[in-house]
Structure 1
Amino acid sequence: MLFSLHPVIAGLVFIAGVIAVSLASYALTRWALLARTDEDSRELAGSVLFRVAALHGLVLALVFAQELTSIRDVHVTSAHEAAMLADIYYDLERYDAEGTQEIRAELARYAIAVIDEEWPSLAGDGRLSDAAWQAWERGYESILDLSPETPRQERLLGIMLADIRELSELREARENAAHFGASQLFLIAALSGILLISAGYFTYPATALNLMLLSGFAAFTGLIIFFVMAYANPYHAPGNATPLGFERFLSDEVRALGAR
């Protein structure tokens, strides 16, 4: 629900909620425990606070790096897929420009379906487009039906069959990336860390400056958590990967052929 809003609005709402939770944890702990606090308990609270904060920061850093790596992997995979698609397209032209025109048109339709249908579908329900699968299937079947008449055509056919089969593996990798996001366990651990760290500051007085500093900590931590949750699906804004390789492949000529 939250990520259906504009990313800026969703981020501000999420951060405001984290700040409210942090201040509430601090206030509740201070109300419940301050009267029972002595010098030893203050030292122990500071020691525990330091260790919890270190572990919390490590968890956030590791998961944040993992999500950025996932987005990078989608960029690399889609670029490889688009390059391989272009190789097949132009190898078909080398094989027989006239006789393979319809097959090349199917590959162009495949690229159009990836951009127009598949990317939004992966951002939504995390599924590949049926239209793109059908275009791939028709292209694969048509290449299988080619009958090479020269050694050159025979070598090209072997390369194209290997490439188009690998396309399906790259497609599966793109789909899997949409389901490898941060789990709810991470969100529980991250919010629990904020609660514990905020509670650990109960020995400090509730001055305006202290509350501002505590709110700043909560805001920055909430921003990192929001980015991690937003990047969980590498096809969804704000950190979404883009089908740049397919867009570059679809020149005016190639797009015109796919529109036939």
Structure 2
Amino acid sequence: MRAAEDVVGGRTALVTGAGNGLGRAIALALAGHGARVVLVGRQEDPLRQTAALIGPTARIATCDVADPASVQALADGLAGEEISIVVNNAGIAGPVADLTEVQPHEWDEVFAVNVRGTYLVCRAFLPPMLARGAGDVVNIASVSGKRPLPGRTPYTASKMAVLGLTTTLAHEVGPAGVMVNSVSPGPVAGDRMTRNFAREAQRTGTSPAQAEEQFVARAALRRMVTAEEVATATVAVLCMPGLCGADIDLSAGMVAR
């Protein structure tokens, strides 16, 4: 495996959902290895907070990845940048409810961000990569797209769609020299999972601690992964020559069935 500084150093990477959580950790990791990072998200203040952690090389750009016009405006605004790494991290958890209780607008919102957003960003930023004959796309999927997760059907279905998008797109653009892969985190410790456990506890009549314990019991390490671990895995994907159309399971051994 090549050294990260040799692979990402001096390149420009675009990271969606970079205002907090996984996106912030991934952006920090890329910048730490010498990449110039474009931080993308819907709200400017969180992006500025991430940029402050990186320093003057970071650039911020607000965008709603689910909105075609917003994504096109993002691409137009970055037309002068050679974006050679795209990390599609933006995503939402969606409702915690049985399928029969999920409202159509809730379903659509999850797919709009998690799937259409990934598609729109790829559609906007792949053409220059294809013209150059080089580039990397890393889609952040989820182990939840590969195993049952009761009460989270919109989310799991959307992440399975991201996996399908990744493998097929890899075969479309791989011959031109563009690598497309995905990373599937398991439960990531942080505010998002804390909220999910609270919702699950309310749905099942248990406590948040019990919901968390039940959730991580299927992991070999009996814990959640950290955002920093996911960021490290994302950089590692970029450093593996020949890796294309692959999914890296980073779930602390979460059973994927």
Q: TM-score range by the shorter chain?
A: under 0.3
Q: Could you say which structure has the higher strand fraction?
A: 2
Could you state the TM-score of these two structures normalised by the residue count of structure 1? 0.23
Which has the bigger relative contact order, CA under 8 A and spacing at least 6? 1
Which has the larger Rg?
1
Q: Could you say which structure has the higher helix fraction?
A: 1
Could you state the TM-score of these two structures normalised by the residue count of structure 2? 0.23
